[in-house]
Structure 1
Amino acid sequence: MKPVKVEKLMINYKTLEKFKHFKEYGNQELSMLEDLENNLVENQSDSPFYGIYIGDSLIARMSLYKVNKKYDYYFEPRQDYLTLWKLEVLPEYQGQGYGKTLVDFAKSYNLPIKTNPRINSHGFWEKMGFKKAQYEMERDLGENPLIWMPEGVKEKPVVK
């Protein structure tokens, strides 16, 4: 795979149209579309989405949110962390390193990362260095979150 650039995606009609090609297109995108229609917001820059383009085609994307340390129940000491979700690579581009490129981009923030993997994606996340969260909160609703920690960060001990 030749080097690719991860770009912050603008929330605009063009981007939302491209999202329709992804299987995980859902409520979040529909909400953004409604905001655009109601407020005529164009090129909103605080988008949580990042993606990889090949030419004019968006071929991979993810959503990345920073969570304030006051809501941290996973790491010791409490700290800001990232929640990564909606990572998806279009089928014809899978297995070519684009998903890894997105995860590496998230890791470059050097903050712990939490994700809730979809069915059949655990192998991918394990290859990326993610492990099952030891500290499970009731609010995770049985989603079995996986986490990645930069060096020097420790996960909270298991609470029974």
Structure 2
Amino acid sequence: MNGVKVENLLINYKTLEKFKRFKEYGNQELSMYEDLQNKFIENNSKSPFYGVYIGENLIARMSLYEVDKKYDYYFEPQQDYVAIWKLEVLPDYQGRGYGKTMVDFAKSFTLPIKTSPRINSHGFWEKMGFDKAHYEMERDLGENPLIWLPAGVKEKETHPAE
């Protein structure tokens, strides 16, 4: 998509107002409005929020977190990775490639990516090259995570009980 750019969203009142539109017209369960309020520091330039604008309208957004390898349960050897959280495109703009643009931006970090997709979004993530994570954890977090691996990165393998 020519001319479409993913921007790091400033944490300020203007962004807070843009997020209200998502809460009212987007998917309620994906609202990042409360997340933004919890991290509110006027014009914090290093926010975890990214978005796509058309003119002055924020039409797609996501939270993108870099995770330290000490918290890695998905890749072998343990390594830093990116977690996509709450990717959302406003209904009037869905099916036009904006979600793909957001995912491609996350892939540009050239780190493994983990996401926990919402119900009925597995098809989208599969098109983006994500697969089910295979890992062992002491407890199931109920996430059903999907992962994407850049070239040369290995996923942890599960080992059946002997």
TM-score computed with the length of structure 1 as normaliser? 0.89
Distance 1:144 1:92, change over 3 A: same
Please say if residues 112 and 149 of structure 1, whose CA atoms lie closer than 8 Å, have aligned partners that are also in contact: yes
- Map of 1:124-143 to 2, 5 A cutoff? 124-138=124-138, 141-143=141-143
Deviation at 1:137, TM superposition (A): 2.7
Please say if residues 12 and 44 of structure 1, whose CA atoms lie closer than 8 Å, have aligned partners that are also in contact: yes
**1:109 equivalent in alignment to 2:115:** no
Distance in 1 between residues matched to 2:70 and 2:79, nearest whole Å:
7
Q: Deviations over 1:72-124 (max 9, x none)?
A: 11111111000001100000000000000000000011000000000000000
Indicate the residue corresponding to 1:25 in structure 2: 31
Secondary structure of 1:45's counterpart equals: coil
Equivalent AA in structure 2 for residue 46 of structure 1: K
Deviation at 1:143, TM superposition (A): 1.5
- Amino-acid identity (%): 72
Equivalent AA in structure 2 for residue 32 of structure 1: L
Distance 1:31 1:114, change over 3 A: closer
Q: Deviations over 1:45-89 (max 9, x none)?
A: 121011000000000011100000111111111110000011000
Distance 1:59 1:77, change over 3 A: same
- Runs of 4+ deviating beyond 2 Å: 29-36, 136-140
TM-score computed with the length of structure 2 as normaliser? 0.88
Distance in 1 between residues matched to 2:79 and 2:143, nearest whole Å:
22
Distance 1:34 1:71, change over 3 A: closer
Indicate the residue corresponding to 2:60 in structure 1: 60
**1:77 equivalent in alignment to 2:83:** no
**1:89 equivalent in alignment to 2:89:** yes
Distance in 2 between residues matched to 1:94 and 1:136, nearest whole Å:
35
What stretches of structure 1 of length at least 5 have no aligned partner?
Answer: none
Distance 1:138 1:56, change over 3 A: farther
Indicate the residue corresponding to 1:42 in structure 2: 42
Deviation at 1:139, TM superposition (A): 5.4
Secondary structure of 1:79's counterpart equals: coil
Please say if residues 13 and 33 of structure 1, whose CA atoms lie closer than 8 Å, have aligned partners that are also in contact: no
Distance in 2 between residues matched to 1:136 and 1:144, nearest whole Å:
12
Distance 1:97 1:138, change over 3 A: farther
Secondary structure of 1:17's counterpart equals: helix
Give me the CA root mean square deviation. Answer: 1.6
Distance in 1 between residues matched to 2:39 and 2:105, nearest whole Å:
28
